[in-house]
Amino acid sequence: MLQKVSICVLLVAIGCTLAKHVELPAPYTDHCILDDKTNLYDPSKQFDIQWFDINLDLPPSERWKQVAGAYKVQIKELIGVLIELISPIFPNAVDWADDVFGEMALKLPQPYRDEIMSISQVTGIPLGQITMYNIFYEIFTVCTSIIAQDKDGHLTHARNLDFGLFLGWDPVAHEWQISQKLRKIIINVNWIKNGKLLFKSNNFAGYVGIYNGLKPGAFSLTANERYQLEGGYYGMLKWAFGLEADGKWMSWLARETFELKNSYLDAKEHLMNTPMLSPVYFILGGVNKNEGCIITRSLNGTALLTELADAKNGWYLLQTNYDQDQQDLYLDDRDTPGDRCMDKLTQKNAGFQGVFNVLSSRTNLNKLTTYTVLMSVETARFETILQSCPGECYPW
């Protein structure tokens, strides 16, 4: 019982690690990068991100050895910064992470348990710390996802992944410390099954779940955190206390969907109805005209379904971290500038370049942004481009 309560205390400690000396710029103004003169999209930058194969035909303990070996130093540095940030509030963070999350690892479902154990063995990082690393992404992600359809019905699915809020502000570099470290461990992954490509994703090295992915000819998926009182903490605590046997971890449900489902409609049904441990927005795209939706998930079902065909603008959906029928918090309004830039972009420019430039416009681009991913299910095109926001940018 004590160790289960310890998980709660540690998670709250992480969540309450507030940044110091953060200077807020003036509230957002239109900052849309739309024409060729200000174009920031350079497709050659995708080659800055290394590709790895994860072979699902191998035993789970063998799948991540190459990645873990290549990035063990960077993963260790990232976890070290996280523990350093927690320690002033929670002095025994290292011991508790090792003990509490180490015990938690033994209860994780397969194949994730053996994969995480293998990463721990290869990197030499204690099992509890690798487990914590694979869980805390479920709580601290603020993002923007877009599905845009051009005049010919071709879909582009893209997202900014913003991570590191309240996790250590660097007053010299004017960046979040965790975001700095995460940019160094971004990888692309080809997932192989029966000797063939099954789907693509990008990951933080050593993280076995999925936030973004594409299954060629079938569907694309991104996941954004949904803020609720019964959020990720609540589901994790229910799981830790044995009160939730059926709920899925969000990023593992996304991965499971790519492994098991072969069409947009099958993926949609699975994501809408599978019990979960944390609320989330699943942004799902397909290969055919109007195949796009936002699935607003609670723990036990879908709270709201927003279809591309019914979008107010008729050709795109933009999702941050607020329900489609609710107003954003004023200090965290990324929907308003995002919508304004998309409207200025116009449907005829709704391709990789146009959408990338919208996602490179403030405040959708901010100090938390680590990368932009661009996907086309129709062409199997998948590009990950590192992002940062130097100069005067909003902290989130």
What Cα–Cα distance (Å) separates residue 386 from each residue in 134, 162, 202, 300? 21, 11, 12, 35
**By the 8 A CB rule, do 332 and 321 touch?**
yes
Cα angle at 383 between 380 and 386, to 5 degrees? Answer: 165
Spot the catalytic one: 32, 143, 293, 389.
143
| Distance, CA of 175 to CA of 201 (rounded, Å) | 26
| Distance, CA of 218 to CA of 206 (rounded, Å) | 26
* Residue whose tokens read 């601290």: 140
Query: What amino acid is encoded at 318 in this protein?
Result: L
**By the 8 A CB rule, do 97 and 129 touch?**
yes
Distance between first and last Cα of the chain: 36
Rg over alpha carbons for the chain, rounded to the nearest Å, is 20
Active site residue 143: yes
For residue 145, give the 3-state DSSP assignment.
strand
Which tokens sit at 10? Answer: 């540690």
> How many helices (DSSP H) and strands (DSSP E) are in the chain?
13, 15
| Distance, CA of 56 to CA of 211 (rounded, Å) | 18
- E-only strand ranges, 28-173: 51-55, 141-149, 155-163, 169-170
Query: Can you state the angle between helices 232-240 and 2-15, rounded to 10 degrees?
Result: 170
- Residue-by-residue DSSP string for 156-202: EEEEEEEE-TTS-EETTTTEEHHHHHHGGGEEEEEEEETTEEEEEEE
Q: Count of CB atoms within 10 A of residue 47's CB?
A: 11
| Distance, CA of 307 to CA of 272 (rounded, Å) | 13
| Distance, CA of 71 to CA of 79 (rounded, Å) | 12
Active site residues: 143
